[in-house]
Amino acid sequence: MAKPSAAMAVSFGDSAMPPAPGPRRRASQPGRAEPRPSTALGVSQAGLRGATLSASKRRFVMGLDGGGTKTACLVADEHLRSFGRGLGGPTNLNFVSQEVARQSILQAATGALDTCPVRPGRLAAVCAIAAPEVRDILSGLIPVDQITQAGEDAPARAANFSSPAGVVVIAGTGSMASGQNSKGDRVSVGGWGATLGDEGSARDIAMQAVISALRAQDGRGAPTALSQTVREHFGISNLGELVHIFYHRGVARHELSRLFPKVAVAAMQGDSVARELLRRAGKELGICAAAAIRRLNMQGERVEVVASGGVIKAGGAIMRPLRAAVRRTAPHAKVRAARFEPVAGAILIALNHIGLENNARIRSRLASRLKADGLADWPWRELLKAAGVDPLIWELAKRGSRNLACQQSTPSYPSQWR
């Protein structure tokens, strides 16, 4: 994640996303409702009943969440009865070209419109996060009444905060923290990109895993399952081949980030080196949030801190050290993981722009509708698959990792590696 650009990473994923499941649709006729089978897309029965209504009588909104690895898009009607979703590649202009970013947004938006049980005739509002030139791109797809470009922290604030004050920690392909106090003062911490920072991000954890594997091979570090994980990820038999891969072929930022879920699984399964990498990452993210709290003079307040992004999906292995680092600065801070994916927060912002108040009731309704349509953890499950991790294996490993929570947090390395 690089600070000078508005196109920053917010969640972990893959640049070449698989198409949404389900049969191919016939070309839509303007204004004609074409319900799709619920078994293909996980569409709820409530969504199918809504599909019988004329699209011309319903207002639709779109949320677009771009970033360093993927672009997620949701389309929803104002009653949250119908959802369409689509995935594309990265949009961060510090790391990809303008054309790659455009194609990523186009792929995600087209997928969301095509999978919506009722094809919208127009969009009443669009909220775009780190999605450059979105107006020009959407103009070729569908009429749009209004487009809002929101900051990276806006979705987490819309979906999780009861007031504007608080700190958002974003840990995806890159990392940063954004804070605001009750006076309206705002600060940003981190977000300097892979070369200058991004500590605690998916890319940072993945790079440290590669280095740990090399240290283990040299005998400078503890033996670790990450050695095999790294070989499998890059399709090599000898770690020495990494020299050619990194220095001659090159490894894109979003490609390296795909290693993160595998590192997290190794940590959940008890590998001490992988667990230490996650502990350090969580601590760095907490330090980032604590810096924002100090700069806003909120140390003595019950400040809300919400952590969002793919790295946070690792659960307690990240959240425990993050929470501890924050509370060393702000003992009364309320630290928790985000309730919604960023793209769902973008939907809430778009709904607010067409007159629907963002309150606890609508957030609860959104959560229940997403769950009913099988989208509660979308797009995370798709991103795991793209990274080569079975979502079931992830969940089993995560459950098993809870048994390690009471163990000593510092790995018990042999003395020669301490």
Range of the domain at 316: 159-339+390-417
What is the total count of domains within the chain? 2
Q: pLDDT digit string (tens) for 151-205? A: 888 888 888 887 888 999 999 989 999 999 999 999 999 989 888 989 999 999 9
In the 3-class helix/strand/coil scheme, how is 5-32 assigned residue by residue? CCCCCCCCCCCCCCCCCCCCCCCCCCCC
Amino acid 118: pLDDT = 84
Q: Does residue 190 sit in the same domain as residue 228?
A: yes
Are 247 and 117 contained in the same domain?
Answer: no
Q: What is the Cα–Cα distance from 74 to 64, expressed in whole angstroms?
A: 7
pLDDT tens-place string over residues 96-127: 788 888 889 899 999 999 998 888 888 999 99
Q: Are residues 118 and 221 in the same domain?
A: no
Residue 399 domain-assigned (yes or no):
yes
Q: 277-295 pLDDT, tens per residue?
A: 999 999 999 999 999 999 9
The mean-pLDDT minimum among 53-67, 195-209, 351-365 falls in: 53-67
3-state secondary structure of 77: strand
Q: Mark whether 170 and 317 lie in a shared domain.
A: yes
Task: Please tell me whether residues 316 and 361 are part of one structural domain.
Answer: no
Question: Pick the residue with more confidence: 18 or 173?
Answer: 173
* 118 backbone dihedrals φ, ψ, rounded to 5°: -115, 115
One domain for residues 256 and 378: no
The model's pTM is 0.79
Query: Which of 280 and 138 is assigned the larger pLDDT?
Result: 280
Q: How many residues does the chain have?
A: 418
Peptide bond into 23 cis (omega under 30): no
CATH code (residue 236): 3.30.420.40
How many angstroms separate the CA atoms of 232 and 248, rounded? 19
Task: Classify residue 319: in a domain, yes or no.
Answer: yes
Q: Each residue of 28-38: pLDDT tens digit?
A: 444 434 444 33
